[in-house]
Amino acid sequence: MKVLVVGGGGREHALCWAIAGSPLCDHLYCAPGNAGIAKTAKCVPISADDLDGLINFAKDQAIDFVIVGPEAALVAGLADRLKNAGIKVFGPSAAAARLEGSKAYMKDMLARSGVPTAAYGRFTDSQVAKDYISKQGAPIVVKTDGLAAGKGVILCNTVEEAHAAVDTMMADKAFGDAGNEIVVEEFLDGEEASFFALVDGTTALPLVSAQDHKAVGDGDTGPNTGGMGAYSPAPVMTEALEAEVMKTIIAPSVKAMADAGAPYAGVLYAGLMITDSGAKILEYNVRFGDPECQVLMMRLKSDLLPALIAAADGQLANFDLRWHDDAALVVVMAANGYPGSYEKGSEIKGLGAASALDEVVIFHAGTKADGDKVLASGGRVLGVTAMGATVTEAQSKAYTAVKEVDWPGGFCRRDIGWRAIAREKSE
């Protein structure tokens, strides 16, 4: 098969790394890819949001199967257009991708199907939103309806803060059109976990759990980022809890989407809050998490490609995947200054020594080759990933590898996995 992966971050490097080893894959392309991906796939300089360019390339090269990494292309309808062109694709239609593209749409679907989630209201009028907030009281959460690169969520400790958040989104348009409509929801207390399932329109096949660290600083402090590290499994997700999530959250959502005429096919990424009264869903994403995908791919024993094809073909019912019992942990190395402004172009050395370590893989997120040199070209730049019998062991291996990376232009958090490691210590 000729396979094309769309995207150029750490998630796509992990997907290419997993797929390159599949006996089904003869030719692997990635658009646009990065310096790390170029070692396993042929990178083509087409950006993930250039839908015309991607369709033309897939037709010209007679690509058999396309795997779409990032959400924006899915929300914009890339999967529909590939299908119309007769090309098989892993990733939901634009109609189903509204689960991530519109929080109001997602919340209405959850409410309709009785899935446990935070109580909410949706608003296009700022005064009505403020009145609702005053009535509910704080703490309370204000979110843009549309995509805002993970930044359109404001947790508010007071009613005044929440009123200000409404103005930031609706009057100041800080998130552009994403804030034309907003969702205001109940603040949920608990521990967060990410849970993933492959879905083929009707059947959902659970993958494994992971936990990421969104805040830039140690101790989960400072501004939010795309994710500074992750590990799998998430100890908070026991087998019983996974079964509960499949039954009360994933299955009714999949059914609701099919009933609404927008059957969901692709990977469903559930952002969960594990509260005292059980698992509740905070949000759906219509793609693999980044950097969660990196740890998932490290733990996957089975061939990924046939599973993704089965999801695209509606054939997941009798499918099974096998996983390593070992834990995996990824430490993200980011350019100094991220998630604020940062410089591009600094050289990264020591990657050979770091990746030569046992059970370590360095996934590239934002790199560019310059001859033999590897240069930083993004905010999140590397995902230093390791496996171990426990999260503690995986963490120790990952940080040993981080020490080998010689890159004064970058930094990382020093405590990825702290919650799981504290649990392991107390056991």
Binding site for ligand AMP (CB under 6 A): 118, 141, 143, 150, 153, 155, 185-188, 192, 214, 271, 282-283
Structure tokens at 56: 């033309």
Shortest distance, CB of residue 191 to ligand AMP, whole angstroms? 10
CB of 339 to ligand AMP, least distance (A): 14
Which of residues 404 and 415 has its CB atom nearest to ligand AMP in the complex? 415
Contact 117, 107 (CB under 8 A): yes
256 interacts with, out of ligand GLY, ligand AMP, none, CB within 5 to 8 A per kind: none
Amino acid at 38: A
Whether 297 and 18 have beta carbons less than 8 Å apart is answered as yes
CA dihedral 293, 294, 299, 304 (to 10 degrees): 60
3-state SS assignment for residue 212? strand
Q: Of 7, 227, 233, 410, which lies in the binding site for ligand GLY, with binding defined by CB under 6 A?
A: 227
Q: Which does 141 bind (CB under 5 to 8 A by kind): ligand GLY, ligand AMP, none?
A: ligand AMP
Q: What are phi and psi of 214, to 5 degrees?
A: -85, -35
Q: Which is nearer to ligand AMP, 276 or 358 (CB)?
A: 276
Instruction: Indicate the residue among 16 and 197 with the shorter CB distance to ligand AMP.
Output: 197
Token pair listed for 318: 């009798």
Q: Which is nearer to ligand AMP, 186 or 244 (CB)?
A: 186
**Judged by CB, which is closer to ligand GLY: 122, or 213?**
213
By a kind-dependent CB cut-off of 5 to 8 A, residue 225 interacts, out of ligand GLY, ligand AMP, none, with none
Could you count the other beta carbons within 10 Å of the beta carbon of residue 86?
8
From 45, 150, 223, 337, residue interacting with ligand GLY (rule: CB under 6 A): 150
DSSP code, position 158: S
CB of 163 to ligand AMP, least distance (A): 18
Shortest spacing between CB 225 and ligand AMP, in angstroms:
11
User: What is the phi-psi region of residue 153: left when phi exceeds 0, alpha when psi lies from -120 to 50, beta otherwise?
Assistant: beta
Task: Tell me which stretch binds ligand GLY (CB under 6 A): 199-207, 216-224, 241-249, 282-290.
Answer: 282-290
Q: Where are the beta strands (DSSP E) in 76-235?
A: 88-90, 120-123, 140-144, 153-156, 182-186, 191-200, 204-212, 215-217, 221-224, 229-232
Phi, psi dihedrals of residue 223, rounded to the nearest 5°: -65, 155
| Residue facing ligand GLY at closest CB distance | 227
**Closest to ligand AMP by CB, 142 or 298:** 142
- Farthest CA pair distance, the chain: 61
Residues that bind ligand GLY (CB under 6 A): 150, 212, 226-227, 285, 289-290, 292
